[in-house]
Amino acid sequence: MIFLLLWAVFPQYRVFSLTLLLMHIPVLIWGIIDIRNSFFCQAFCHKDGEQSSLAITFDDGPDPEITPEILDLLKKFGYTATFFLIAKKAERYPELVKRIIGEGHTIACHDLDHRYTCNFRFTAAMVRDIGAARDILKRISGKTVRLYRPPVGLTNPHLKTALKKLNMECIGWSGSVRDGGNRFRKTFHLIPELARPGSVVLLHDTVPVPENKSEFLNQLENLFISIQEKKLKTVSLHSLFSLQPYL
């Protein structure tokens, strides 16, 4: 806004105002694409000072092709996770949502769908879509979720206001292998390295590339083994940050 004001009211400062604008563009881009900097709103990404616990999270589900096997692995190791669900997918597979909750895990919101244009919405559209997503999850589970992770982890200046209106918290992550939602198999071998105290681990329970499934599940089990070997424990994300998961 200050750039527009300088441009309109003080023509003699147009070169100066344009220079200021160009200087700020990299900062704005950094704020949009890196949720860990909490540029536009506070995002819970890492628990500083934590020595023994971490939180495991899954995005983009539920998916009948892989969510049940992830739940089986979690049960095998006795681990707890948080599932950031896409509401329209949850609507198609409500039995998986109920199983996630029934086995002691937490559900959270990953928006209504996963459009890459989600970050171009203004406050009213965010409140509408995220609110609709939360309503779908409530109809299935009976729970009004409070934890929200934006698609692709992108934020904008309207997100803070929208989440405040909905009484929700923004959740990021501190550890991921940049697998493109399980599309990039070449990074799966890095998954076991995510076992670090205080971390919010980002994984995905979706299979956009079916031939990647076995390798992902193998590396997920290796992550769980690494957690054991390091004598760490998994806790629910809301417990790690002392947040309220549901209204």
Q: Kindly report, residue by residue over 104-118, the tens digit of the pLDDT.
A: 999 999 999 988 788
The CB density around residue 63, as the number of other CB atoms within 10 Å, is 22
Averaged over 47-62, what is the pLDDT?
Answer: 97
Look at residue 20 and tell me whether its pLDDT is greater than 50. no
Domain boundaries defined on the chain: 2-33, 41-241
Look at residue 241 and tell me whether its pLDDT is greater than 90. yes
Averaged over 124-140, what is the pLDDT?
Answer: 97
pLDDT band, residue 36 (cuts 50/70/90):
confident
Among residues 46, 59, 111, 129, the one annotated as catalytic is 59
Query: Selecting from 2.30.40.10, 3.20.20.370, 3.30.830.10, 3.40.50.300, what CATH number does the domain 41-241 have?
Result: 3.20.20.370
- Indicate if 59 belongs to the active site: yes
> Which has more pLDDT, 93 or 1?
93
Look at residue 120 and tell me whether its pLDDT is greater than 90. no
Among residues 105, 110, 158, 204, the one annotated as catalytic is 204
Instruction: Fill in the amino acid letter for 219.
Output: Q
Q: Give the pLDDT confidence score for residue 115 in this predicted structure.
A: 84
pLDDT band, residue 189 (cuts 50/70/90):
very high
Q: Give the pLDDT confidence score for residue 24 in this predicted structure.
A: 44
pLDDT band, residue 3 (cuts 50/70/90):
very low
- The whole-model pTM stands at 0.87
